[in-house]
Amino acid sequence: MSGTLNVFVDQIRDNIIKIKSQTKAKFCAVVKANAYGVGIRLAKYICDIVDYFAVANVLEANALAKYSGKPILVLSPPSIEDIKKIKYKNIEFAVDRVEIVEELKRQKERFKIHVAINSGMNRYGANFDEFLKIVESAKKSENICMRGVFSHFYNSDFLTMEKQHKIATKFFDVARANFNDVLCHISNSGGLMFAEDMVRVGIGLYFNENKCALSLESKICEIRKIQPGDIVSYNAHFVAKSKKTIAVVPLGYADGINRKLSGCSVIVKGQECKIVGDICMDCFMIDVTGVDVSVGERVTIFGKNGKRYNSVCNLAKWCDTICYEILTGISCRVKRKYNANYHRKIQGKKTGERSDRPNKTNTSENKRQHV
């Protein structure tokens, strides 16, 4: 493996518990895009303290169901073809067109749906007239359970959230008047004051008061001395002006190290070391002149090393992007290591153990029977 993404499970659990303490609403952990790059196996370490999971599509839902029997919501409305690929009974999904509901009514299976509504983002979601048609169609169905109605905040400022919540409330009122135990949800971790029946938390799983429950590390694999005039990496963008000690780190853009990070710093032995030259597909080089290092020395791309800390948000700023893109860009070549010290048992195993095997009992009981 080229590097390791350390996942500090205890801190993630603490983040969840803190958010839950601020609201009586159900807690939905959004783990789409491989849990924002962290790895879908995270689910088995937190399933005992969450009520729901949410993912982007049916493929992700089927993968997640191997690790948890909790309800799983597919947020992006799937096609009929994709709905037919659902393998587990705990998978629920979004709809935003009455045509889909009408097609589902012709099936012999039972389905649990959440109606996605448009409160202003204009991505997915039914407008009010379409929503009323969906409600009327679902009411006349014997095989469709209206499990929820939801929308999504497109901005985090209070006035925007208040405006969207007001729009969504009109939909929620209709849903509650027509269905029992329907879950109305719009809020993320930054909008707990608008929590309604459930709060959906994604990136907030990993951040609390600017502390990140993740770190990305690798190890020096080569060290070389170079002379004035020597070139480092492609395109001769770095030419040494003096004697330098250069170390090679086996992480590259194929691992998720953005090429815009050339010229930025990583941490070695508690000291900032600058990335020199273009970042390669499989490695990058750093200037360790004056730092007493050897092959095998730990290199921290983001996280804590000694007394220094580099945040994933800093990397995002250097790359003129957002932390979501940095995390989801970390490829499968990077090992995910789940550090869990809490003393509980989840799915019949001690949580300190790391295993790729799903819970067999949970999986077999949860299998969806297609008719």
Residue 366, phi then psi, degrees to nearest 5 = -90, -10
CATH code, 212-310: 2.40.37.10
pLDDT value for 208: 83
Name the fold adopted by 8-207: TIM Barrel (3.20.20)
pLDDT value for 367: 46
* Local confidence pLDDT in tens for the 371 residues of the chain: 689 999 999 999 999 999 999 999 999 999 999 999 999 999 999 999 999 999 999 999 999 999 999 999 999 999 999 999 999 999 999 999 999 999 999 998 999 999 999 999 999 999 999 999 999 999 999 999 999 999 999 998 999 999 999 999 999 999 999 999 999 999 998 889 999 999 999 999 999 877 899 999 999 999 999 999 999 999 999 999 999 999 999 999 999 999 999 999 999 999 999 999 999 999 999 999 999 999 999 999 999 999 999 999 999 999 999 999 999 999 999 999 999 987 444 444 443 333 333 333 344 334 443 32
3-class DSSP state of 102: helix
pLDDT value for 1: 65
Dmax (CA) of the chain: 79
Tell me the C-alpha distance between 41 and 324, whole Å: 18
Contact by Cβ (8 Å): 58, 86 = yes
Annotation says 234 is catalytic: yes
Annotation says 324 is catalytic: no
Residue carrying the six token digits 């819970």: 359
Q: What is the pTM of this model?
A: 0.89
Cα distance from N-terminal residue to C-terminal residue, the chain: 43
pLDDT value for 209: 75
Catalytic residue among 26, 32, 70, 244: 32
pLDDT value for 190: 85
pLDDT value for 94: 98
Residue 254's region, left for phi above 0, alpha for psi from -120 to 50, else beta, is: alpha
Question: CA quadruple 189, 202, 13, 306: dihedral positive or negative?
Answer: negative
CA angle 25, 29, 33 (to 5 degrees): 150
Q: Where are the domains of the chain?
A: 8-207, 212-310
Catalytic residue among 18, 166, 234, 317: 234
